[in-house]
Amino acid sequence: MEDSKYAKELDVAVRVVHMACSLSQRVQEGLVSSSSNDQVKAKDDDSLVTVADWSVQATVSWMLSESFCNQKVSIVAEEDVQTLSKSDSVGLLTAVVKTVNECLAEAPKYGLQGPRNALGASEILEAISRCNSSGGRNGRHWVLDPVDGTLGFVRGDQYAVALALIEEGKVVIGVLGCPNYSTKKEWLNHHHQYYQSMPKLSDTSDKWEKGCVMYAQRGSGEAWMQPLIHGDQKFNWSDSSQRVQVSPIDDPALATFCEPVEKANSNHSFTAGVAHSMGLKKQPLRVHSMVKYAAIARGDAEIFMKFARSGYKEKIWDHAAGVIIVEEAGGVVTDAGGHPLDFSRGLYLEGLDRGIVVCCGTTLHEKLIGAVYASWESSNL
C-alpha cells in the first residue's frame, strides 16, 4: 500500500469491501438455494431490498466509524431502517443482526478490529441510520451502495458492493466488490440459471475465478484488482493486487457494449439506435449493477451507455466508485453531452445531459457522443 494523502482511507475501504463481499456471498448462496423469500422485501418504489443490503450497510458503517473515530464520519447510503423497524419485520431484523455479527467476527482476517462483544439490534439499527448524509460540495462523504443490482443478487447473478469517498465534491477513492465477476469474461453472458447449476468451486481452484475487488485513487493513473478472500486465507496487500487497464480497441465494429438489464430505468430502444448509428456490430451485453464499470476498466468491454427514462434521477451511489475506477484505468466517463459527472450536488447527479456514457478511450467516446446527437434528433425522447 503506497503512501499517499488517502492511504489509510483506501486501505480501510478495500478491506471493508472484502468483508462485505464475503457477507453478501453467504446471503446470496442462501437465497439461491432456498425457495423462501422471507429475506427479501419490496420498497415503496417497488425495488428490492434484502438482508444483505442492510447487513452490508451496518457492517461498513460500523467499521468506518470505528476506523475513523477521530473524524465526524459522514456516510451517504441507499438504505434506511424504516422497513426493518416495523413490527412484522422481527424475523428480518434477527437475520440482519446474526449476519452482521458473523461478518464482524471475521474482521481480524482482514486486518481490522471488530467489536469486543456482539452488537445488539439497537446498535445495528443505529449503524444503518447513521448513513443519513446528503453529501454535497463541502467536506468528506463516504458513498455506499451496499448491494448494487439487487435484482441480479436475488437471482444469483451479477451484483456489486460499491464504496467511494467524495472530498469537496470530487470522488477521490473508489472500491468496487464484484463477487461473481471472475476473470473469465464469458461469465458475464450467462444468466442466473448458469450460476445455480454451476458446481461449487473448490478452494483449490483458480483464486481469480471467484470474484474480485477493484479500486483506484484519484490522480494515480492506476486501477487495481484483487481476488476475493476465501476459506482460511488472510488479507494481504503484498501479493494479491493486479493492475487493470481499459481495452485499446477504438473500432466500433469490434467494440463490446454494456447496458443495464432492467428496462424500468433504461431506454433499450434508444440505446439500440445509438449503437446502430455508431456502427456497433455486437449484441449488447446486459449486465446487472456497476459490474458494467468493472468490465470497462478491466478491458472486457469497451462501451457502457445508459439513457434513463423520463423522470428517473441517477443517484450518486450507483456511479461514484465505478466512475473513478474507469477513469484511473484510462477510460472516459461523461454525460451524453460530453460533460463530467457532478458528484457535488447531493444525492443525485443533477444537471445530467440525457444519459451517461462510458468508453475505453477518447476515440470511441467522440464517436459515441456524435451518435447520441444524431439519434436524439431522430427520436421522440
- 239 known ligand binder: no
Instruction: Map 38-63 to HEC letters.
Output: CCEEECCCCCEEEHHHHHHHHHHHHH
Q: Please, are residues 56 and 147 in contact by the beta-carbon 8 Å criterion?
A: yes
Residue 230: the pLDDT is 83
Residue 204: the pLDDT is 38
- 335 known ligand binder: no
Taken in order of first residue, the domains within the chain and their CATH numbers are 7-244 (3.30.540.10), 252-376 (3.40.190.80)
Q: Give dist(CA 18, CA 338) in Å, integer.
A: 34
Q: Give dist(CA 193, CA 203) in Å, integer.
A: 22
Q: Is 150 part of the annotated catalytic residue set?
A: yes
Residue 47: the pLDDT is 52
Q: Mean pLDDT throughout 149-158?
A: 86
Q: What Å distances lie between residue 167 and 56, 101, 187, 204, CA to CA?
A: 23, 30, 35, 41
Is residue 201 predicted with pLDDT exceeding 90? no
Enter the pTM of the model: 0.91
Q: Give dist(CA 45, CA 47) in Å, integer.
A: 6
- 250 known ligand binder: no
Q: Mean pLDDT throughout 331-359?
A: 95
Q: Give dist(CA 345, CA 357) in Å, integer.
A: 20
Tens-place pLDDT, residues 22-69: 999 999 888 766 655 566 666 554 455 789 999 999 999 999 999 998
In degrees and rounded to multiples of 5, residue 78 shows phi and psi of -80, -35
Identify the CA nearest to 39 among candidates 91, 101, 80.
Answer: 91
Tens-place pLDDT, residues 298-328: 999 999 999 887 788 999 999 999 999 999 9
- 148 known ligand binder: yes
Q: Which of 50, 59, 150, 271 is catalytic?
A: 150
